[in-house]
Structure 1
Amino acid sequence: MPRSSTRTSSVKRSRTRRAGESAYGALLIARMGLMGVLALLLLVAGVWTSWNTAQYAMLVKARERGTMTVKVCRDERCTGPYVPTEGKGRARPKVSVAQAAAPDLGERIDVTVKPGSTLAVRTGLAGILHAWVPFAGSLLLAALVVAGGMRLRRTAWVMGLFGAVLLGAAFAAM
């Protein structure tokens, strides 16, 4: 007589096999956790680095705002005279801005001066996008970690595309 299909039989696995399966599962969980921490660390570092400049480009109400004329560019910095337009500012003969954020020589750009220094940060859409470039790079790096280490490919694609769009927008705005 054939056996009934409603009857189930359990297969006993040895203790060694069960321990091996548990250890493998623990390793998978540990890998996911480690890669998640690494991706989070990359993103936090990108935001931290970007915020150092972005706060001046974005939150300019209580800051010294004005225009800078680009005169000389060398050593990754461009310098030129600064003329205040808003706030409690004073004209300065020389302030400097990152060369990547500066246009061609002789052009005027809107800037805000960091308090207590002669370092200027470009404002407006171009300045904001330029300030968030380190975060865009960290998004691209974290996307690789998420795709390769965590096997979350869709999430990685979204992160990578967002980073690439942010980099492209910053390049186009300059």
Structure 2
Amino acid sequence: MPATAVSSHRVSRQGSVAALRFGRLAAMGAVAVLILVAGVWASWRTAPYVMLTKGRERGTIEVTRCADDTCTGRYTPISQGSSGRDRAVIEKTVAVRKGQTYTVVVKPGGDEVVRSGPAGILYAWVPFGGALLLASVVVAGGLGRTRAGWVLAGSGIALLTAAFVTI
């Protein structure tokens, strides 16, 4: 084989290897970003009510009855402009028990409430903590960025542990 044919074969092979490497990095990067965006999206379902409480109805709920997915109880207002309710609904989780009283924020337009305070904020961001853990595997394995993967995993573990401890 002539020398020019060998060198052109090497150049085309290096080009295809670079293109495949770029495609893998782009695909894995897109998957990691998609996982993180989905985590934020899932967390944002309750996070704005808990984090941005100015102008919202705040109070306490004393849980008196629990069904399969929800618990109900009497809502007692704390903030000005909030009115008491005989029945308020809170999502049933491992952190909500019958007979306990929790500080809550009322979701606009109904009788549904979400936990407030540090426990409520951390609990609202639990889906994002899970997304951080999942994205860490993609970043470390798929992108080959081990340190960044460890940082994401550590952040996810810290968030989930803090939520578990405060609840």
Per the TM superposition, whether the score is higher than 0.5 is yes
| SS of structure 1 residue aligned to 2:74 | strand
- Counterpart-to-counterpart distance in 2, 1:66 and 1:21: 65
Could you tell me which residue of structure 1 aligns to residue 106 of structure 2? 113
Could you tell me which residue of structure 1 aligns to residue 124 of structure 2? 131
Contact 1:101 1:122 in 2 (8 A): no
Could you tell me which residue of structure 2 aligns to residue 142 of structure 1? 135
Could you tell me which residue of structure 2 aligns to residue 21 of structure 1? 14
**Aligned pairs (5 A) from 1:63-102:** 63-100=56-93, 102=95
Aligned partner letter, 2:113: A
Of residues 36, 43, 51 in structure 2, which corresponds to 1:43?
Answer: 36
| SS of structure 2 residue aligned to 1:89 | coil
- Counterpart-to-counterpart distance in 2, 1:96 and 1:83: 13
Residue 171 of structure 1: how far off its partner (Å): 0.7
Higher-Rg structure is: 1
- Counterpart-to-counterpart distance in 2, 1:151 and 1:99: 40
Deviates more, 1:130-139 or 1:47-56: 47-56
Unaligned stretches of 5+ in structure 1? 1-10
Contact 1:78 1:102 in 2 (8 A): no
Residue 76 of structure 1: how far off its partner (Å): 2.6
Residue 153 of structure 2 is aligned to residue 173 of structure 1 = no
- Counterpart-to-counterpart distance in 2, 1:28 and 1:75: 49
RMSD value, Cα: 1.5
Identity %: 46
Residue 91 of structure 1: how far off its partner (Å): 1.3
Task: Give TM-score, length-normalised by structure 1.
Answer: 0.89
Of residues 114, 129, 151 in structure 2, which corresponds to 1:158?
Answer: 151
Query: What's the CA shift string for 1:91-147, capped at 9, x where partnerless?
Result: 112112122264332111100110002211100000000000000010011001101
User: CA separation of 1:92/1:104 partners in 2, compared to 1, >3 Å: closer, same or farther?
Assistant: same
Contact 1:71 1:105 in 2 (8 A): yes
Residue 49 of structure 2 is aligned to residue 56 of structure 1 = yes
Structure 1 runs (4+) deviating above 4 angstroms are none
Contact 1:83 1:92 in 2 (8 A): yes
- Counterpart-to-counterpart distance in 2, 1:25 and 1:73: 58
| SS of structure 1 residue aligned to 2:73 | strand
Aligned length: 164
Aligned partner letter, 1:63: R
